[in-house]
Amino acid sequence: MAHNPLVSNSANGGTASEALAWLALRNAAADCGRGSHSVDPQSMRALPAGRKWAHEIARVVVDGLLAGSLSAPAQLASRWDRFGGAITGLIIGLGQLWNNPGAARRIQYQLEQMLLDADDLAAPRRLAWTLGIRIAARNPTATQLPEGIDQIYAHLMIDGQIEAVVQFGVLGAVTRDHWIELIQNVVPAERLGLAAEALSTSAEREPDPDSHFGKLAQLAAQARELVRSSAEPAEPPAAPRRARVRHDKDRTAFWNSYFATEDPWNYGSSYEQEKYQRQLEILPAGPIGRALELACAEGHFTRQLAPRVGHLTATDISAIAVERARARCSDQPNIEFGVLDFAADTLPGGMDLIFCSEVLYYLDDLAELRRIARKFAEALAPGGSLISAHAFVLRDNVEKTGFDWNTFGAQAISETLAATEGLVLEQSIQTELYRIDRFRRLSPDEVATEPMIDQVPIRAPIEIGVARNIVWGGARALRRDVARSERRQRIPVLMYHGVADEGPAALARFRLTPAAFASQMAWLRANGFHAIGSEQLEVSIANRQPFAGRPVVITFDDGFQNFADHAWPILRANDLTAEVFLVTDLVGESAKWDADIGPPTPLMGAGTVRRLSAEGALFGSHMATHRAIDGLSSSDLAAELLRSRMFIERWTGRPTTAFAAPFSVTDRRLGRLARECGYRVGFGRKHGPADLDCDPIDLPRIEIRGDRSLDDFVATVEAVLE
């Protein structure tokens, strides 16, 4: 049954003028089919120009051509010379009416594909932009490209039968080697038979300038020159991270590796200084004669403690740390420094005060902690005090706020010290994140009293290096546990756009409030998810390696400044990362593609991209101009892929291997051209989770809408885990 544009338009609630425009389109296409050389598109002005209508418009054109030319569908491509110029002119005219040449090209591609889908290609079919041909898969020959052609639609033939159909963008002649490489990618080797050996070829060292790869090389050279001449300085490659030495192999080397970099824990931060102040507040009343500080690190707290005691022995297992502490406290005459491993070495005795904070987590197990606790008690003089400050850790109590470290924490440490003969808890200052305890070594005739417990808030801001390890409110699953116990074939790839409180109402679907985004990321963190990038995803797919634990890929399209302002701090605080797809020609400007909806949203500048990359954010291409790729010529598409990739690599100093298609629009040219331009991962129009059977150059994603609840988000993600 022929397609009826009037019925279709009416069913979709179109206006009478739109219905008449659809009818005019069919009639104009019929006139072209009858041989008319020129058709005025003015009567079709009301046709919708949106991307979702391109296929529909092409279908109506085919319907009109069939009627006007009295042809069967399989005959239209072979009769292109009769009506092709007129129908192409009509479609170009529509693009001019809409002031949108990309929309016209999109329709033209759809039309030509429909015609060739119905044709047997018994002879070459040269349409406006597409060449339809047959290729002998076992003995391909070079194909010259007629003027204007920028894609090939080919039947790969074996023994007179169609073995495969391929459609791809081309910039120049397709050489025999080019055909061989393509055929070997789509035709099973066993189908090629013995002749497969004859297909082996060496790569061209210098491609013919008029060939596809020759033209591609020219575009790449132009992109490199553009990037080189840009005002933005290149980002030097990131320095490799220093590997940590495991303490179970060599405890001294482990700590020296930390102190290879000065101030490894940001001791001067407000958070650490507030903790230091509370440790000083819990000091016992009265004069303190001899004090021992274990794990003094670089002496930041040592300097504050020294004026409060008569004599202070400050020690650390790392000679590097001790020397820095000695230099920091050189004007304090009552401090004696020394290298000491409190787990292995003998402790000096008769101490009035021992400080041992933020280090007992690193002991091997609770048995070693119990042994060390007895050493502490023995090193204290009767009536002496032991002060310990340690953080709460989820391993002790997964239902309460804690640090996600694979160690015991403050709860286990306090319980072990309290159970040590001769020690009794006198006072404890407790926050949501840590507790500071003062234990007393009882004299033989002393009776223990009830400890004084003070609950206090944390007022200091928590820097990102600390915050990323905290799971507030407890966890429902721990990352290390699910990594051991769970293997899955699927993974959620989440697609976001903006994170902001305000914006045009028409774009609400594409915008989450910071509070809503924070709730989603906190849920992921509390439920054992960890974020990976597209590169890791591609490796798993290539090796068919099931995903361990609960990985998630978090992606952001467009590169809005609000990602840097709101989303990135939330991601870092939850120990997550994201991959942002940038519109590189517009970096530092605004989202001009939304200008007809409201004030365009600002986009991140190159300096912001550089900073976030150094902090761990990942970046990929959202093309150079944000134009839908099915409205670009193959040459323009390749140029955007190359230019965008090279600019991102300049800003980040890292290889760029992933792209996301603007508007989630793809066509059959994109994947192959993207690979030829240096990409290995692509996200297109498909919706749903990614799995090990996916094509990594055409991966699906799950859109996370701003007009949905947290419960909807949870249900969406949990559905992937089932």
480 plus 451 within the same structural domain? no
Q: If we measure between CA atoms, which residue out of 410, 522, 532 comes closest to residue 476?
A: 522
Confidence of residue 314 (pLDDT cuts 50, 70, 90): very high
Question: Given this model, what pLDDT does residue 1 score?
Answer: 37
Question: Given this model, what pLDDT does residue 249 score?
Answer: 55
Residues contacting residue 111 through CB under 8 Å, at least 6 positions apart: 58, 61, 62, 87, 91
Q: Which helix (DSSP H) or strand (DSSP E) does residue 434 occupy?
A: strand 434-441
Contacts of 681-686 with CB under 8 Å at 24 or more apart are 681/534, 681/535, 681/537, 681/538, 681/620, 681/657, 682/658, 683/493, 683/495, 683/534, 683/555, 683/581, 683/658, 683/659, 685/661
Question: Given this model, what pLDDT does residue 236 score?
Answer: 52
CA distances from residue 120 to 66, 73, 74, 143 in whole angstroms, order as listed: 17, 11, 7, 19
377-396 mean pLDDT: 97
Question: What is the domain extent for residue 530?
Answer: 476-721
Number of domains in the chain: 3
Confidence of residue 508 (pLDDT cuts 50, 70, 90): very high
Q: Which helix (DSSP H) or strand (DSSP E) does residue 125 occupy?
A: strand 125-126
Question: Given this model, what pLDDT does residue 191 score?
Answer: 82
Per the structure block, which two tokens stand in for 600? 């365009």
661 plus 692 within the same structural domain? yes
556-560 mean pLDDT: 98
Per the structure block, which two tokens stand in for 336? 């004696």
Question: Given this model, what pLDDT does residue 180 score?
Answer: 93
Crossing angle of helices 212-228 and 634-652, in 10° steps, is 40
Inter-residue contact 212 to 170 (CB < 8 Å): yes
Question: Given this model, what pLDDT does residue 443 score?
Answer: 85
244, pLDDT greater than 50: no
pLDDT in tens, 407-460: 999 999 999 999 999 999 999 999 999 999 999 999 888 778 899 999 999 999
Residue 687 lies in a domain: yes
Residue 258 lies in a domain: no
Task: With H, G, I as helix, E, B as strand and everything else as coil, classify residue 582.
Answer: strand
183 plus 296 within the same structural domain? no
544, pLDDT greater than 60: yes
Question: Given this model, what pLDDT does residue 722 score?
Answer: 82
Q: Please identify which residue in the block is written with the tokens 């054109």.
A: 61
What CATH number does residue 361 fall under?
Answer: 3.40.50.150
Task: With H, G, I as helix, E, B as strand and everything else as coil, classify residue 559.
Answer: coil
Residue 369 lies in a domain: yes
120-131 mean pLDDT: 97
Question: Given this model, what pLDDT does residue 448 score?
Answer: 80
333 plus 409 within the same structural domain? yes
Helices (H), 118-231: 176-186, 189-192, 196-199, 212-228
Sign of CA dihedral 253, 479, 557, 504: negative
pLDDT in tens, 30-52: 999 999 888 888 999 999 988 88
615 plus 555 within the same structural domain? yes
476, pLDDT greater than 80: yes
CA angle 625, 627, 629 (to 5 degrees): 120
- Per cent of the chain over pLDDT 70 is 94
446 plus 578 within the same structural domain? no
Q: Buried b / exposed e across 43-65, counting CB within 10 Å, b at 16+? A: bbebbbbebebbebbbbbbbbbb
- Per cent of the chain over pLDDT 90 is 88
pLDDT in tens, 559-599: 999 999 999 999 999 999 999 999 999 999 999 999 989 89
108-122 mean pLDDT: 97
Question: Given this model, what pLDDT does residue 133 score?
Answer: 98
pLDDT in tens, 81-93: 999 999 999 999 9
286-302 mean pLDDT: 97
560 plus 700 within the same structural domain? yes
**pLDDT, the chain, mean:** 93
What CATH number does residue 600 fall under?
Answer: 3.20.20.370
Q: Please identify which residue in the block is written with the tokens 């055409």.
A: 698
Question: Given this model, what pLDDT does residue 263 score?
Answer: 92
Confidence of residue 14 (pLDDT cuts 50, 70, 90): low
63-78 mean pLDDT: 96
